[in-house]
Amino acid sequence: MSQYVISNESAREAPLMLALSLPIVGVVGLVIVYFVCRREIRRMTRPITELSVSAMNMGMGNLKASLPDISSRDEMRRLRDSFVYLQNSITDYYRADEDHQERQRAHGIGA
Structure confidence by residue, pLDDT tens digits, 12-67: 777 778 888 889 999 999 999 999 999 999 988 888 899 999 999 998 989 888 88
Which residues 6+ apart lie within 8 Å of 110 measured at CB? 101, 104
- For residues 50 and 40, what is the distance between their CA atoms, to the nearest angstrom? 16
Identify the CATH number of the domain defined by range 8-106: 1.10.287
Of the pLDDT bands very low, low, confident and very high (cuts 50, 70, 90), residue 110 is low
| Residues 55 and 27: beta-carbon distance below 8 Å | no
| Residues 100 and 110: beta-carbon distance below 8 Å | no
Structure confidence by residue, pLDDT tens digits, 56-105: 999 898 988 888 888 888 888 999 999 999 999 999 998 998 888 888 88
- Would you say the C-alpha torsion 72, 74, 76, 80 has a positive or negative sign? positive
Residue type, 79: L
